[in-house]
Amino acid sequence: MDTLYDVKIRSMKIEDIDPVLAIEQDAFPNLFPSTNFRTEINRKISNCIVAEIPKDFLINNSNFQYRNGYTGHHPQDKFIVGYAVTWEIAGEIHIISIGVRRRYLRLGIGRKIMHSIINESIKNSNQSITLEVRPSNDAAKNLYKKLNFQFVGRRVKYYSDNLEDALIMTLDLQKQNTN
């Protein structure tokens, strides 16, 4: 696919919430309730971003169906393929949620969203970026490891659905190259 050059990372708007919710519900099927993106967009400490492409390039790929067939997408819109929500607390960035549309996985979109968060955080002189990840989530762990996040701790029985621990991963921005 030659579309990755066309992936734009921008702030989330109210009209993005439907497709973002569809991505979140598919990416985190055990999450209840869903994130209140309307609140997040207006929350002072929160930064909500989306990854957008000009059109749904993989629309005819029938390998994948969303539950109930619902993608949250209005055909006339540009197509939302990922999102992230971060909070800034005391100079540190916390990744609250990140997800990529299932049909667009493994195309570099997650990495692009993360690069945007890292670059923005460096620009804003934040000290570090922290997140929690399930030990069973190899895709996410690999993504973060590739970006130099380090394992710094564990929260025991953090996830209420299966009482899985959370691994805490941090990127120390003081040690990052600003290029």
Which C-beta is closer to ligand COA: that of 133 or that of 173? 133
* 143 forms part of the interface with ligand COA (CB under 6 A): yes
* 1 forms part of the interface with ligand COA (CB under 6 A): no
Using CB under 6 A, which of the segments 41-49, 52-60, 106-114, 152-160 binds ligand COA? 106-114
* 108 forms part of the interface with ligand COA (CB under 6 A): yes
Closest CA to 174 of 146, 154, 150: 150
- 105, 164, 168, 172: residue in contact with ligand COA (rule CB under 6 A): 105
* 139 forms part of the interface with ligand COA (CB under 6 A): yes
Q: What residues make contact with ligand COA under the rule CB under 6 A?
A: 27, 98-100, 105-111, 131, 133, 137-140, 142-143, 146
